[in-house]
Amino acid sequence: MNGDALRLAAGNAAELWSRIARAREYGAEAGDGWLEVRGDERYGTRILTVRAVDSVVVPAGRVVVEDAFGALDLGSQGLAERRLPIMIRDPHKSAGEPKVPVRRVSAPRDLRTVERLVVEEFALERFQPYQRGVVFPDGLLEDVEFYLAELDGEPVGAAVAVPQAGVVGVYWVTTAARFRSRGVGRSLMHALLGRFDDRPMTLTASTLGRPLYESLGFEHVTLSRWWSRA
């Protein structure tokens, strides 16, 4: 199961960045076991592996290499490593109802709210200060799903989902700082699990987020290796 789960997770991450590349008008190239997305000067290059590979060509400048399979060692090229757990949840497990209202957004105005939450609360330093429509252009609404949690009309959390026929990937599950520990993240996940109860769900967890996902039935697959150069 782990091998299949890993391929699902890596393939979905590559699909996310393929869609982002189209929406942001970045260059993208698929190779033998990898995808390379070439952004602007501020963003740099992102390389993702979709199977275990022995090597990739790492360009100069700002770069992130996301190796789900953990086969690459890029320390000798001056890149720093961090490891993040890839997790998966089988479908048809019971999930609770969101205690905080969550809705899928479809209008560009609401997408801007999700975008600001992700940039500021998820600390996407490359995209700060926040600029409208840079991280999530309106075109992403066509094939990426965005979710917004609200309390008394105030936006308090957000999440992103990338559905495919055999899997759905979850990204940037975010809670506004002053609303943390109030069930916002759990409500976002309950909403997503209720919508996508017919297929496996994958995500890459932060250290702080992992206990929440484990409590929702996600299982650890492996530690991915993320290599970066500022």
Whether residues 114 and 187 fall in one domain? yes
For residue 58, is it left (φ>0), alpha (ψ between -120 and 50) or beta? beta
Contact indicator for 35, 98 with CB cutoff of 8 Å? no
Same domain, 77 and 160: no
111 within some domain: yes
On whether both 24 and 78 belong to a single domain, the answer is yes
Nearest 5°: the CA angle 19, 49, 119 is: 50
For residues 181 and 114, membership in a common domain is answered with yes
Q: Is residue 74 one of the residues assigned to a domain?
A: yes
Q: Kindly state the tokens that stand for 207.
A: 């250290």
171-221: pLDDT as tens digits: 999 999 999 989 999 999 999 999 999 999 999 999 889 999 999 999 999
Residue 1: pLDDT over 70: no
Strands 201-204 and 45-49: unpaired
Residues 149 and 60 reside in one and the same domain: no
Residue 172 forms part of a structural domain: yes
Of 27, 60, 85, which marks where a domain is finished? 85
Share of the chain above pLDDT 70, in %: 99
User: Do 137 and 78 belong to one domain?
Assistant: no
- The pLDDT of residue 123: 84
Q: Are residues 66 and 118 in the same domain?
A: no
The answer to whether residues 190 and 145 belong to one domain is: yes
Q: Read off the pTM.
A: 0.94
Q: Is the dihedral of CA 68, 74, 79, 82 positive or negative?
A: positive
59 in any annotated domain: yes
Model confidence at 95, in pLDDT bands (50, 70, 90)? confident
Q: Tell me if 137 is assigned to some domain.
A: yes
Distance CA 65, CA 147 (A): 27
Q: Calculate mean pLDDT across residues 96-121.
A: 96
Domain count, the chain: 2
User: CA-CA distance, 106 to 111, in Å (whole number)?
Assistant: 7
For residue 89, what is the enclosing H or E element? Answer: strand 80-89
Q: Do 122 and 169 lie in a common domain? A: yes
Identify whether residues 112 and 79 lie together within a single domain. no
The mean pLDDT value of the chain amounts to: 95
Whichever domain contains 137, its CATH number is 3.40.630.30
Q: Are residues 13 and 40 in the same domain?
A: yes
Whether 211 is covered by a domain: the verdict is no
State the Cα–Cα distance between residues 112 and 120, nearest whole angstrom. 12
Expressed as residue numbers, the domain containing 158 is 102-199
Residue 48 lies in a domain: yes
